[in-house]
Amino acid sequence: GCGETPYVKLVSQLYGDRAVIANATGCSSIYGGNLPTTPWSKNRDGRGPAWSNSLFEDNAEFGLGMRLSLDKQSAYAFELVVSLRAVIGADLADALLRADQSGEVGIAAQRQRVAELKALLADRTGPRIKDLLGVADLLVKKSVWIMGGDGWAYDIGITSE
């Protein structure tokens, strides 16, 4: 709720533009969704977390839907890399498919490979190539966060018994 701004800032600093936030209506939508001041941070390229606000009651489902959608789109991106291996080249395709993204070094390396992939495919045509360009950023692991305050968590006695 109202006291979680330090945590929000920390999440955005740790996960940056890989963070996807499902936010419950409440204090967090006031301090998190209004400019010019916000606890969300951005990187040197001006990119930060993706943030969306849900109704008060359904934020858990909203966040789960975000996770499932990202997982499905990511799986599709990896399937396209496999199917376009001959176009992409074995070395780049294998590196994209086998990337260790357990830490920042691996994630940075995967970002570089995705940039290389986009540059390689930029002048190519075809429906699968177009699809891959549309989901290529999802070859980099995303982190979904479901945020809300004590009201959303049923912690302040606002529910009927």
CA–CA distance, 139 with 32 (Å, rounded to integer): 27
| pLDDT tens-place values along the chain, 161 residues long | 567 788 888 898 889 899 999 988 777 777 777 777 777 888 888 888 998 988 767 888 899 999 999 999 999 999 999 999 999 999 999 999 999 999 999 999 999 999 999 999 999 999 999 999 999 999 999 999 998 766 676 666 555 55
**Are 48 and 110 within 8 A, CB to CB?**
no
Whether 113 is covered by a domain: the verdict is yes
**Are 2 and 149 within 8 A, CB to CB?**
yes
Domains held by the chain: number: 1
Structural domain harbouring 10: 5-147
What is the value of pTM for the model shown?
A: 0.85
- 72, 84, 114, 118, 132 from 96: Cα distances, Å: 17, 12, 8, 12, 13
What pLDDT score was predicted for residue 15? 92
**Are 32 and 145 within 8 A, CB to CB?**
no
Whether 161 is covered by a domain: the verdict is no
Residue showing tokens 């549309």: 134
Whether 160 is covered by a domain: the verdict is no
**Are 99 and 113 within 8 A, CB to CB?**
yes
Whether 31 is covered by a domain: the verdict is yes
First to last CA, the chain: 23
Whether 52 is covered by a domain: the verdict is yes
Whether 99 is covered by a domain: the verdict is yes
Whether 155 is covered by a domain: the verdict is no
DSSP string, 51-99: EEEE-SS-HHHHHHHHHHHHHHHHHHHHHHHHHTHHHH-HHHHHHHHT-
CATH number at residue 53: 3.40.50.970
Whether 135 is covered by a domain: the verdict is yes
Torsion of CA 104, 105, 111, 116, to 10 degrees: 180
What pLDDT score was predicted for residue 160? 54
Tokens standing for 107?
């994630």
